Amino acid sequence: MITISFLIASAMGATEPLIHAPLASDEFGSIAGKITWEGERPAPTPDLELKEEATKGCKHGPEGLDKRDESLLIDAQGGVANVVLTIEVAGAERKIPAEPIVFDQHGCRFVPHVAVVPIGATVRFANNDDTNHNIHTYAKKNAAFNTNVAPAGTLDKVKDKAEVIDVKCDIHPWMKGYVVVTEATHWAVSAADGSFAIAGLPAGEYELSWWHEELGKGKTAKVKVEAGQKATLAHMVSAEKKASGGARRR
């Protein structure tokens, strides 16, 4: 099972890992928390077995190519990475970034592994490796495409319907990532240690929705956010490892 632990705090007292919302003021509060694995952890997923010939042109640092399987990342303290959390605030403006949201191909993996995109935003699929890549999207509501992108090349696409889109590279079949197109007004993706924060929330009670590629989706209990306060409140919910609705439906 996973346990989702929330720390609800005012903007003045909140931490700031991976904030994907308007900056808070005295009129707003925020939610910060950590997603952790509860109970016995699964055995670590083996690194990908990649032949040297297949990885030519994949950029990497002195530590070598990152061969982790990113489908379920749990750190030493039980933090779960790449969980998407969203909130829809009635009457709030969904801000569309002026610049494209970059979904990169670097080191022959998608960076970030999971990108959250508000409806109407542009995604820039980029190739920062020294080898050709292919972008193959498995979309049902947005237009799917299957296009090669040369080194240093980019491809811009507008996403206008909410859904979770699987993205693969047919040239490097181990590459896989996700573009989560959302109607939400506020969102975050949990960091490597499971932490997240969402700021800019008017006072009120909110229910967060969460999604993970392996664990499925679910909702939290309602959490109370107060404006301009430093007080904190701990709140925990748990959900079955395979939540209802499946891992790729939203």
Q: Give percent above pLDDT 90 in the chain.
A: 51
Phi–psi pair at 225, nearest 5 degrees? -115, 130
- The pair of structure tokens assigned to 85 is 């959390």
Domain 1-41+65-92+184-250 has CATH 1.10.3470: no
Q: Which residue has the higher pLDDT, 23 or 227?
A: 227
Cβ–Cβ < 8 Å for 55, 129: no
Q: Which residues pair with 180 in a beta bridge?
A: 116, 164
Give the C-alpha separation, 143 to 224, whole Å.
38
Average predicted confidence (pLDDT) for the chain? 83
* Interval 173-223: pLDDT, tens: 999 999 999 999 999 999 999 888 898 899 988 888 999 998 888 887 677
* Interval 61-75: pLDDT, tens: 888 899 999 999 988
Give the C-alpha separation, 181 to 174, whole Å.
23
pLDDT (average), residues 79-85 = 92
The SS3 assignment for 87 reads strand
Cβ–Cβ < 8 Å for 74, 2: no
Architecture of domain 95-183 in CATH? Sandwich (2.60)
Q: What is the pLDDT of residue 61?
A: 84
Same fold, 1-41+65-92+184-250 and 95-183: yes
Residue ranges covered by each domain of the chain: 1-41+65-92+184-250, 95-183
Q: Which residue has the higher pLDDT, 164 or 34?
A: 164
Cβ–Cβ < 8 Å for 114, 70: no
Q: What is the pLDDT of residue 103?
A: 98
Query: Which residue carries 């055995």 as its tokens?
Result: 43
Q: What is the pLDDT of residue 247?
A: 42
* Interval 151-181: pLDDT, tens: 999 999 999 999 999 999 999 999 999 999 9
- Helix (H) or strand (E) segment spanning residue 7: strand 2-10
Q: Which segments of 48-130 are extended strands (E)?
A: 84-87, 101-105, 110-111, 114-118, 122-127
Q: What is the pLDDT of residue 226?
A: 82
